[in-house]
Amino acid sequence: PSNPPAGEPGTATAPAAVAPAAVAARLREAFATGRTKPLAWRLAQLAALRSLLTDRTEALLTALHSDLGKGAREAYRTEIAFTLNELDHTVAHLEEWLRPRPAAVPENFRPAEARVVRDPLGVVLIIAPWNYPLQLALAPLVGALAAGNAALVKPSELAPATSAALAELLPHYLDRDAVAVVEGGVPETTALLEQRFDHIFYTGNGAVGRIVMAAAARHLTPVTLELGGKSPVVVEPGVDLAVTAERLARGKFLNAGQTCVAPDYVLAVGDTAAALERHLADAVETLYGQDPATHPEYGRIVNERHFDRLTALLGDGRTVIGGQHDRASRYLAPTVLADVAPDAPVMREEIFGPLLPIVAVPDLDAAIAFVNERDKPLALYAFTESEQTKRRLTEETSSGALTFGLPVSHLAVPELPFGGVGESGMGRYHGEYSLDTFSHTKAVLDKPLG
């Protein structure tokens, strides 16, 4: 597990502000009426969610700035536009995705017809984290509603302004008997997890992922766990290092490094490390200027606990650029660390902040071995011109996603599944994969009586 959990389970002694049992019962009652099943209801909910995002853009951007110092352009692109794209892609294809799919019937059963239909699951719980507090609450909700479910959204208490905005706005726009928001932290989530849900979709760290899965087991509730971990970047000799550095820096320093699929560290193959570090220093200056503290698009660390955790890692390796920090404003400069030892503290846990260590490895074999000796990453990135390297990384490593040439971008391709493997999670979503996650795929066989 990369991050310590925000708290321990079972510490809830005081009753939660909203009675979770009553909210879950209301949602279950609404689902039981069948109102969430028709395509028309699903499309109407998605249209209403679209209106929320377009009518209330300013309020949402203000909340995101207040929680994470997110600049308006970055916040619009990664939280609002991203969710709108996911929503529009779903609306454009939903009818087609919901069409029953014919299945071939073996000769000995004929005449008969077989088909596969997607049934809604019932009431789903979505538990969201703080780092993209809007996107990671609403993109799963798009899938849950598209699949015809009632849904309960639990935003992260560590992004309180966005949590409050969701709690205020979702009931205004959506069917309030079938969609609810419960705010709160560990006690409230612990109480929610005692209820029976038909699916739990959790995004966050692996320690809490285990708590969620254990709670789900009591009701035999299926879970999707969107977790994190260290996502490596392999850089091979012979690539354009200026382009590589620019794309790496963009992916890494987005949201001040607090992105689940941020490049965590670089494995610089052969003699690339020295030149790469110079290009990374240039790229940081091009993106954020000489003093990133004054750049409107550079974010802040979410809280003091994470700030202290990150600044404790600053002693590792040699600082190429960055390292400046200010606890009062939770500012930590985009930082590149060179000559980092493979077992340095910064290499032991998911960084989840704006520190980019470079570890030199002699060749591709060593890079592949390095990746395979550690937890399966949420994403593996590589900059290479070699088709053989691409083939070897595809065949010889395991990760949630594998992206060549543009870190982080795979998550914005709606036809690609998004999710982890092993310690980086289980299950997947986005586009049609969300529909699968939030549906039961039901077999129907119809044999005439005659």
Burial 57-76 (b: 16+ CB within 10 A, else e): eeebbbbbbebbbbbeebbb
Write the DSSP assignment of 181-205 as a string of letters: E---SHHHHHHHHTS--SEEEEES-
Beta carbon of residue 122, minimum distance to ligand NAD (angstroms, whole number): 21
Contacts of 439 (CB under 8 A, 6+ apart): 118, 119, 120, 121, 147, 148
Strand duo 223-226 + 199-203: pairing: parallel
Does 425 contact ligand NAD by CB under 6 A?
A: yes
Widest CA span of the chain, in angstroms?
81
Contact flag: residue 156 with ligand NAD (CB under 6 A) = yes
Nearer to ligand NAD, 136 or 321 (CB): 136
Q: How far is CA 415 from each of CA 89, 111, 231, 281, 427, rounded to the nearest angstrom?
A: 9, 36, 21, 35, 15
Closest CB 304 distance from ligand NAD, rounded Å: 14
Decide if 328 contacts 350 (C-beta within 8 A): no
Among 122, 143, 204, 232, binds ligand NAD (CB under 6 A): 204
Q: Which of residues 209-228 bind ligand NAD (CB under 6 A)?
A: 211, 226-228
Is-catalytic flag, 113?
no
| Residue closer to ligand NAD, measured from CB, 2 or 397 | 2
Contact status: 310 vs ligand NAD (CB under 6 A): no
Closest approach of ligand NAD to the CB of residue 171, in Å: 19
Distance between CA atoms of 359 and 381, rounded to whole angstroms?
15
Q: Which is nearer to ligand NAD, 159 or 273 (CB)?
A: 159
- Token output for 161: 């302004």
x/- letters, 36..75, toward ligand NAD (CB under 6 A)? ----------------------------------------
CB of 418 to ligand NAD, least distance (A): 7
241-to-275, 288, 355, 399 alpha-carbon distances in Å: 7, 19, 19, 24
H or E segment and range at residue 404 = strand 401-404
Sign of the CA dihedral 107, 112, 114, 120? negative
Looking at beta carbons only, is 89 or 230 nearer to ligand NAD?
Answer: 230
Given 45, 90, 190, 434, the residue binding ligand NAD (CB under 6 A): 190
Q: How far is the CB of 350 from ligand NAD (least distance, A)?
A: 5
Q: Which positions from 256 through 275 interact with ligand NAD, judged by CB under 6 A?
A: 260
Q: Name the residue nearer to ligand NAD (CB basis): 136 or 364.
A: 136
Distance CA 101, CA 103 (A): 6
Interacting residue ranges for ligand NAD, rule: CB under 6 A: 2-3, 5-9, 127-131, 136, 154, 156-158, 185-186, 189-190, 203-205, 208, 211, 226-228, 260, 350, 352, 378, 420, 425
Catalytic positions, written as ranges: 226
